[in-house]
Amino acid sequence: MRDHDLARLRGEIDSLDDQLLDLVERRLALSAAIAVAKGADRAHLKLRPERQRAVVARLQAKAAPASADAVAHVWRELMAHSLERQAPTRLMLWTDGDREQLVRLVRERFGSAAALLWTISPEEALRHAAGGEAVAIIPSGRAAPLPAGVVAFEILHDAGRSLAVAAGRVAEEEEEEEDGPGRRAAPWSPGSWRERPATQLPVYRDPRALSRAERRLAGRAPLVDLHDVDGLRQRLAEVAEGKALLLQGGDCAETFREHSAARVRATADLLLDMGRTIGAAGRPVVQVARMAGQWAKPRSSLTEWVGGVELPAYQGDAVNGEAATPASRTPDPARMLRAHDQAAATAALLWSLVPDGGEPVYASHEALLLPYEQALVRYDELSDRWWSGSGHMLWIGDRTRDPAGAHVEFARGIANPIGVKCGPGLGEDDLLRLLDRLDPEQAPGRVTLIARLGLRHVEAHLPRLIGAVRGEGRRVGWIVDPMHGNTRRAAGRKTRLLADIAAETRAFFQIAAAEGVEAGGIHLELTGQAVTECLGGDRRPLAERDLGRAYLTACDPRLNPDQARDIAELVAGLAAEGAGREARAA
């Protein structure tokens, strides 16, 4: 090998070391933030053997050339240093056997960060463990009886014979299984979703390219202000109380090809105009664009067959390309950076349009692409909260709302208002579990439920969902998405009928009133461009033969401005009827 080759390889190693150091420092900083978040718990040492075991096992399962032992060794050391950041760990040892062997084995198991101290008796070690001041390391035979609150787990064994145990206080979240009634949830971190089953996430071929993109995203400024995130939450609390109406709308999927300042403005102007129409019915309107982050799409099938070849499905411009070729459909993490650039440009345009009343147009999107979302989470020291800088409001889609899944895990830890799409397949139990996980404190404005049942299902399913939430005495916002349950095919394309959209909207308002909750507004897929994607309408109805003329969407069919204004008028009328009913009842 020539000298300059060697120099290049060494240079690469140096650069990897720099990156590793950067990651280790980020990991330590997160640990410190967790300690702050735990507040008072911090003074007392608590073991998390189960969490540590899970972390190591997950990485061992992933590691290909690296051996399981090497992974365990490196991560136990890392975790030991992280724990030191949260609470200094003291290991109190006692043995009447081989001291050197015990020290060697303890270092293997607990890393080199913690201080080792010898004590005079196993009882003395356990007394310190009971006080949460230390972890006792003693021979297995000397661990009984254990003081109250102390748990022992085996650390050393030889040929099936247990030699020593570690004993200490275990963190509450490990004492009981998660998710049971009245039980505490496990600790959250921006990456805790990675330990949960995830659906709809792309499979990236090059993990290094992915972490490079994540790191670059993590270094960027948030697109939204925490102050406005909190402002929107207050407004959504008013929506839940019937004091305001929510109008949420924008593209099904933003794309690189459709982006221009004029188009962003046209869609935002349409939203503002619709807001004025709906607001004329009396209640103030909260305008939330489906923009500046609406990049990734859930798909019913993650692959498709094109000309005898199975390709990954198009998952949105932040993931892969629309063109049906293997190269374009291969998920590329660098797309997240381009998407974020475009989102920042879109956001800047949105913030420049201040509508009547000075209220900002807020931004929202589906929190689907979790590597992107995680990289844009920020920690606010002042209020000691994690929040997402990727949009004011994030929602969880109908396909990723598993209460035990990765997307719900991610959403539960951020302070932003959260929407949940509710399709006909959502059971009452799951809905209540979702609310428990996402909104344990029952904070006003935290959750908005977005019913997207479809005209065929709304009557059968909306009353049971509303009833389940009311039965628990919970107050959440309810709005209707009359688009996603009404998709059908015509002339070889995906489309939606205005008549279906209008009828589901009407049914939603009527059923909400009958079930005693406020119909809080509407969620629409629309664009300021004169597209021909949905059929029907009052002002300028579209027929099947028109569909091909300007069918531009990358995903679902959108309302054009005429059709969107038709629906805005309908909502204004329904809101006015509701207000009339209340006035008569009063």
User: Contact positions toward ligand PEP, by CB under 6 A?
Assistant: 252, 298, 366, 397-399, 421, 452, 484
Residue closer to Co ion (CB basis): 254 or 556: 556
In the complex, the smallest distance separating the C-beta of residue 253 from ligand PEP, rounded to whole angstroms, is: 7
Task: Could you list the beta-strand ranges (E) of 223-372.
Answer: 245-250, 285-289, 303-306, 309-312, 362-366
In the complex, the smallest distance separating the C-beta of residue 526 from ligand PEP, rounded to whole angstroms, is: 12
Among 556, 561, 568, 570, binds Co ion (CB under 5 A): 556
Residue closer to ligand PEP (CB basis): 42 or 437: 437
In the complex, the smallest distance separating the C-beta of residue 499 from ligand PEP, rounded to whole angstroms, is: 20
Task: Could you list the beta-strand ranges (E) of 36-121.
Answer: 90-93, 115-118
DSSP designation for 147: P
Residue closer to Co ion (CB basis): 252 or 498: 252
Residue closer to ligand PEP (CB basis): 378 or 399: 399
On the CB side of 234, CA atoms within 13 Å amount to 7
Residue closer to Co ion (CB basis): 259 or 494: 494
Q: Do 306 and 329 form a contact (C-beta atoms < 8 A)?
A: no
196 binds, among Co ion, ligand PEP, none (CB under 5 to 8 A by kind): none
Calpha distance 336→368 (Å, rounded): 12
Cα dist. 582→235, 247, 443, 511 in Å?
21, 21, 26, 15
In the complex, the smallest distance separating the C-beta of residue 528 from ligand PEP, rounded to whole angstroms, is: 18
Q: Does 533 bind Co ion (CB under 5 A)?
A: no
Q: How many CB atoms lie within 10 A of CB 227?
A: 7
What residues between 3 and 22 interact with Co ion by CB under 5 A? none
Beta bridge pairs of residue 154: 165
In the complex, the smallest distance separating the C-beta of residue 483 from Co ion, rounded to whole angstroms, is: 7
Q: Do 229 and 416 form a contact (C-beta atoms < 8 A)?
A: yes
* Size of the chain, expressed as the number of residues it contains: 586
Number of H helices, E strands in the chain: 17, 19
Q: Does 524 bind Co ion (CB under 5 A)?
A: no
Cα dist. 308→27, 112, 493 in Å?
46, 56, 21
Calpha distance 24→120 (Å, rounded): 37
230 binds, among ligand PEP, Co ion, none (CB under 5 to 8 A by kind): none
Q: How many CB atoms lie within 10 A of CB 57?
A: 13
Among 237, 246, 252, 462, binds Co ion (CB under 5 A): 252
Residue closer to ligand PEP (CB basis): 398 or 518: 398
Calpha distance 128→136 (Å, rounded): 7
Calpha distance 338→451 (Å, rounded): 32
Interacting span for Co ion (CB under 5 A) from 18-26, 338-346, 464-472, 554-562: 554-562
In the complex, the smallest distance separating the C-beta of residue 298 from Co ion, rounded to whole angstroms, is: 9
In the complex, the smallest distance separating the C-beta of residue 554 from Co ion, rounded to whole angstroms, is: 10
Interacting span for Co ion (CB under 5 A) from 244-252, 339-347, 419-427, 474-482: 244-252
Beta bridge pairs of residue 395: 366, 419
Residue closer to ligand PEP (CB basis): 298 or 360: 298
What residues between 320 and 349 interact with Co ion by CB under 5 A? none
Residue closer to ligand PEP (CB basis): 89 or 400: 400
**Residues in touch with Co ion (CB under 5 A):** 252, 556
